[in-house]
Amino acid sequence: MNKILFVCAGLLAAAGAARAQSYPETYLILPAPTPTPGPAHLVVGVGLSGGGDELASARYPDGTTAHIHAGGLVYLSAGVDYHLLPEFSLQGTINYHVDSAETRHGDVRFERFPIELIAYYQPNPAFRIGGGVRYTSSPKLTGSAVGAGRDISFDNTTSAVLEAEYFQDADIGVKLRYVHETFKAPGVGQVDGSHVGLSVNFYF
């Protein structure tokens, strides 16, 4: 009887040891949970634009002239990109758009603060097209080289935007865009600010 109990105890101990050895191995091969990416992403971008009527010019000491256009020149963007569905998304951004020149004899600057809302259709992960609206706030031409220091404040304006974006990967996009824009100011009349832009955008 003692031998039987001894053998049973030995078998139970061996089974417990085998279970202790196999449990960690089974635990380690379980896949770690991965968080599901959310539909909203922050976006920041920088771009160059060209087009529109000439507003002013500034002459450099070497005789060259810089021309300030209503559609130029550099713009910065920051906002949110939200995917409603894999094929459809919305993007809202706040932007700063400026064209400027500085010389020893004066400087000139045309700056404005656009707010944009764009809707996109994305047929595949690498490409999407979109269109939307742009509301440009506080467009203003300033500088000592403009009208003997006279500043020109234009009315706020609403315009249309068309875009195409190519994604190098999920976090970097290159945009080609067209903005149909018009500015008005008392005593100046209507100014064409339509332009083409190319930008690089980073998504987080």
Instruction: With respect to residue 2, please indicate whether it lies within any of the assigned structural domains.
Output: no
Mean pLDDT along residues 62-84: 93
Find the CATH number of the domain harbouring 45: 2.40.160.20
Residue at 174: amino acid letter:
V
User: What is the number of residues in the chain?
Assistant: 204
pLDDT, tens digit, 9 for 90 and up, residues 18-69: 444 544 444 445 444 434 467 999 999 999 999 999 998 877 777 788 899 9
Domain count for the chain, please give it. Answer: 1
Q: What is the pLDDT of residue 149?
A: 53
Mean pLDDT along residues 81-103: 95
Instruction: With respect to residue 55, please indicate whether it lies within any of the assigned structural domains.
Output: yes
Give the CA angle between residues 98, 44, 95 to the nearest 5°: 30
Residue at 166: amino acid letter:
Y
Q: Cα separation of 21 and 140, whole Å?
A: 75
Q: Cα separation of 139 and 188, whole Å?
A: 13
Q: Do the Cβ atoms of 81 and 203 come closer than 8 Å?
A: yes
Instruction: With respect to residue 1, please indicate whether it lies within any of the assigned structural domains.
Output: no
Q: What is the pLDDT of residue 60?
A: 76
Q: What is the pLDDT of residue 27?
A: 45
Q: What is the pLDDT of residue 18?
A: 47
Other Cβ atoms less than 10 A from the Cβ of 35: the count is 5
Q: Do the Cβ atoms of 47 and 176 come closer than 8 Å?
A: no
Domain that holds residue 59: 40-203
Helix (H) or strand (E) holding 17: helix 2-28
pLDDT, tens digit, 9 for 90 and up, residues 108-143: 999 999 999 999 999 999 999 999 999 999 999 998
pLDDT, tens digit, 9 for 90 and up, residues 134-178: 999 999 999 875 544 578 999 999 999 999 999 988 899 999 999
Instruction: With respect to residue 147, please indicate whether it lies within any of the assigned structural domains.
Output: yes
Q: Does residue 38 or residue 185 have the better pLDDT?
A: 185
Instruction: With respect to residue 46, please indicate whether it lies within any of the assigned structural domains.
Output: yes
What's the whole-model pTM score?
0.79
Which of 113, 117, 37 has its CA nearest to residue 81? 117
Burial class of residue 29 (count of CB atoms within 10 Å of its CB; 0-12, 13-18, 19+): exposed
Instruction: With respect to residue 173, please indicate whether it lies within any of the assigned structural domains.
Output: yes
Instruction: With respect to residue 162, please indicate whether it lies within any of the assigned structural domains.
Output: yes
Which of 132, 95, 130, 98 has its CA nearest to residue 114? 95
Instruction: With respect to residue 47, please indicate whether it lies within any of the assigned structural domains.
Output: yes
Q: Cα separation of 100 and 83, whole Å?
A: 36
Distance in Å from the first CA to the final CA of the chain: 72
* Torsion 81-84-86-90 (CA) sign: negative
